[in-house]
Structure 1
Amino acid sequence: MYKVIPKEHHKLLNDWMKHVVTYDLKITNATYKKKLDGKFELKVTVNSKRFETNSLGEEIEININEPIQIGIFKKHPNALDSEKDIIYLKPHQINNNEMKIKIITDFEPIYVGIDPNNTRLDKNLEDNLISSQQIN
């Protein structure tokens, strides 16, 4: 696997293959406003924690510093008709327990999620997705 995965992701591969690593990812706030040019400015607050289970079975919080996808959708991801309902799906370098991210989109951002494809072993998937609120 090391031959095909870029070197900058080897530490993450080690964590996933040699350790028990779990996450607590959540979107705590998502607001947007329509700009004069017709685009939408979305501000998202992400909370993220990362844990390693030691040999005694205890979870120890460890630093987080890895790319995790943020997804923006026209409708709830469980009701997507096609790829056209996905406005944005890109990784962001998550390296703090709380981060504020600003994203500009061409379409109204109805739902926002972190790790929408559930690639991380997350303690609570229910708080990974939120409906965004329009502000003036």
Structure 2
Amino acid sequence: MSSICYKNLRSSHNPVRILCYLFLQFIKELTSHSILKIENGNDAVMTIKEAALEVMKRHDRPMTSREVYDAIINAGLYEFHSTAAPHIVQIQIRRYCEGLNLQDASPNKCFALVGNDRYVPLTKCASSSIDDDLLELIRRNDLGDQHP
């Protein structure tokens, strides 16, 4: 399925492209959540983005993505199941970073880049969803702003 999706993602205004995009976003959403135990014993879902926001607010200073990753691990806010976890944190921060024009960027910005490699949380950070990302993809297609 994913090879079909990658092939069709390149063609513009293709219904298969939108379905593939939704499929890939669904997989992203599934892989970016972790179950945490909270004080009252209930389970809560926290994304990498939410964990990054939490540690940045606690430290109250610009942080590199590696510092954010280390702080997430030290605080026990997210359980990573990948050897590339520091890189995954960097990708997620940049995806929600203001001023970066990335193909898979979220329309909802939560971070700002300070200098070359440090990030700070924005005071306003809306929740992102697959629907928001799909609307952004459609907007880009309508405006002819699609990346190759």
TM-score of Structure 1 vs Structure 2, range by shorter chain: under 0.3
Q: Which has the higher helix share?
A: 2
Q: Which has the higher strand share?
A: 1
Q: Which has the higher contact order (CA 8 A, sep 6+)?
A: 1
Length-normalised TM-score, structure 2: 0.24
